[in-house]
Chain A
Amino acid sequence: MTGETLRRSTEAVRNIMHRRMATVERGVDRLSEAVLAVDELPMHVDESVAQAPVDAGQSLDMVKDARHQIDALFGQENA
């Protein structure tokens, strides 16, 4: 292996780790904002709102995408 290959690979690994940590940080930030929104909801909110009909199609797609990702993540261990 050349020094250049090693340098590039090391950089790639560091980038992946940086990216994951940044994703987690943003995830916590988004969650914090959403929790504030939950706190501001009126207590009598109709639970049927949770069905989110406006973007139900999009949500289903997201679930399918997530299932693929989850299968990819855990499939090897489940096999």
Chain B
Amino acid sequence: MHCLDKRMLKRFLKLPGIPSEQERAQSLENEMIRKEGKIGGTLFGPTPHGLRREFFCLDEYTWVWHEEWNDKGGNHRVRNTRYDIRPDGIVKSQNGKHYQRISQKEAARLLDAAHAYEKRVRRELYSATA
């Protein structure tokens, strides 16, 4: 068994306070998405000091760009940019509002990022399942 599988199996078996297999499975899936998000956050180069960035595929119709930082006043800031994939195009919203259709240029960049994301998570997280 691949070493990643062993780590995941150990995690799966020892999730504290989560008795049912279904809940453990959901918890582990969330953990996998968090790991994907960390990998996705590195696809766009180094982040400024104090900025945490995640980029991940939430489900087959949704890609999320998540950033957190503290502003100059010390206030914690969060920006969730969500891309909804629709048959006729891609719609973006930030922090759950301001829906807008994205440009061809942004769509092309998003697709490039998604291809890179797929390669990285396949290699770094899921190669043992191939």
Contacts and interface: CB of A to CB of B under 8 A. Distances in A.
B115 A28 contact: yes
Contacts of A35: 90, 107-108, 110-111
Interface residues of B, number: 61
B85 A17 contact: no
Interface in B5-41: 5, 8-9, 12-13, 21, 24-25, 28-30, 32-34, 36-37
B87 A34 contact: yes
Given A9-B12, A27-B59, A47-B100, A34 B33 contact: no
A4 interface: no
Interface string B86-130: 111111010010011111100110110011011001100110110
A10 B58 contact: no
B32 A17 contact: yes
Interface residues of A, number: 51
A74 B54 contact: yes
Contacts of A37: 87-89
Interface of A: 1, 9-10, 12-21, 23-35, 37-39, 41, 45, 47, 49-52, 56, 59-60, 62-64, 66-67, 69-70, 72-74, 77-78
* A-B CB proximity, top 10 nearest: A50-B101, A26-B60, A27-B57, A50-B100, A21-B126, A38-B107, A63-B96, A27-B60, A17-B129, A35-B107
